[in-house]
Every structure is written in C-alpha cells, then in structure tokens.
Structure 1
C-alpha cells in the first residue's frame, strides 16, 4: 500500500501542464481564424475581379462587389482595405487586413490578390 507520499501530485502535474494545453488550444483556434480570414480575403478579391472584368463595367464595380462580399462574410477579416486596378487587358484586386485575434497581442496580417482578363471585343483571327 501507498504511504501517502504522492498525495496531491496529480493536481500539481495538471497545474504545470494546463498552461501548455491552453496555449496549444488557443493557438490552433488562432491559426484557424487566420485561414478563414485568408479565405474571406481571397473570395472578396475574386468577387471584385469578376465584377470589374465584365465588358464595359463601370469604374469601381469591383471594389463595390468586394465590399458587399466582405459585409456579408462577417468579421473574420478586420480592417479590410480594397484596391482594384484595371488596365486595357487586365484587372487586379487586392484585399488586405488582419485576422481576428483569439490570442491577446497576436495580430496576423492577411493579403490576397486576384487577377483576371478584361472582357473586350477583338478582331477575329484570319
């Protein structure tokens, strides 16, 4: 039989291990939030490109569509900034921001860019 020398060892071991377990738990949730923010930014950028690349799309259509997407997607991406640049042949939309923070003091930056070809009339091949 035990003489009681190990009495109370389990709570002490738990107190030592629990901060590491909580750090891993919240760290994994923070990484998941970062991936969701990246996905949200990418889909917003793609949505902006799809709106801006349409034949004779008005200026600002891409930013408007991306802003609407971000409003509907929720708060996964904090402080989003949108830019869409259009040339004669190409559209590029970039969405940047930070993911929501689960771990205090951790602010992970997200930046996603999408490209697309502008729809236009061209001469047929002969």
Structure 2
C-alpha cells in the first residue's frame, strides 16, 4: 500500500494540491453562511424576548385595579432578567397604554417593547418591535 502511494507521488499526480485550493475558495462562503445563520437566530431570540416582555407587561397591567405603571415595571424587570438579547430597549423603554382613557375603568391594555437585536455581523443591525394586547379585568353587573 505504501509503495503504491510513493509511486503515485513520484509519477506527479495532476490533481495534487486541489483540495486546499477548493477549501480556500469555499471557506469564505461557509463562514458567511455560518455567521448569517447565527445572526438570524439572534434576531429571532430578540423578537421572542421583546414579545415575552410585552406579554409580561400586559399581564401585570390588566389585573383588577392595577396601578399605573405596573405593566412598564413588569416588562422592564423581565428585560433586565432576560439578558442582552434585546439591545437598546431602555432608551425608549416599554410602553403600556390602557384604552379608552376617558372612562373610569379602561377595558383594554396594549404594551409595546422595541429595541435592536444583537449584532453578530458588524454593521448589521435589525430593529425589533413587538406588541401584546389584553383585556383589563373588571367587575361587571349581570
């Protein structure tokens, strides 16, 4: 087996060195695909984090006789505990709006969380904005 390999090397194989060249051509493409897939995963994690924070805010704000700001506090607490998947959320902060505002007991609450996803690829920045909606708990007469 070893003698056959020596004879083939001595004969001057025309395909010799082709594998490193192929790898050098394909490696940038492989790296781009790898980093692109990681960036897509980071965007989806940021969207999921923003949506869960918005839902947390809605759940806190929709409880019976919830105080003003309970939803924003809950969403902010969730985002601080969730880690850094959503970047820049604290600049605008989560918002929770109850509607209608002209009646003593509002009927609906909407919370919105926005920010940016982590950037794995330099210069690539994706805005993330998620909204959750719910009905405010209240006592009604039959």
User: Do the two structures share a fold, i.e. TM-score over 0.5?
Assistant: yes
Larger Rg: 2
List gaps (5 residues or longer) in structure 1.
none
In structure 1, the partner of 2:125 is: 107
Match of 2:69 among 60, 64, 83: 60
Give CA deviations for 1:81-117 in whole Å, capped at 9, x if unaligned.
Answer: 3111012110000011111011111111111100000
Structure number with the higher helix fraction is: 2
Q: Does 1:121 find its partner at 2:121?
A: no
> Secondary structure in 2 aligned to 1:4?
coil
Match of 1:85 among 93, 97, 102: 97
Match of 1:46 among 38, 42, 55: 55
What TM-score do the two structures reach when normalised by structure 2?
0.84
> Secondary structure in 2 aligned to 1:103?
coil
Two-structure CA RMSD over aligned residues (Å): 1.1
What TM-score do the two structures reach when normalised by structure 1?
0.94
> Secondary structure in 2 aligned to 1:45?
helix
2:88, 2:98 → 1: CA distance? Answer: 23
In the TM superposition, residue 63 of structure 1 has moved relative to its aligned partner by 0.3
1:113, 1:63 → 2: CA distance? Answer: 13
Structure number with the higher strand fraction is: 1
List gaps (5 residues or longer) in structure 2.
1-7, 100-105
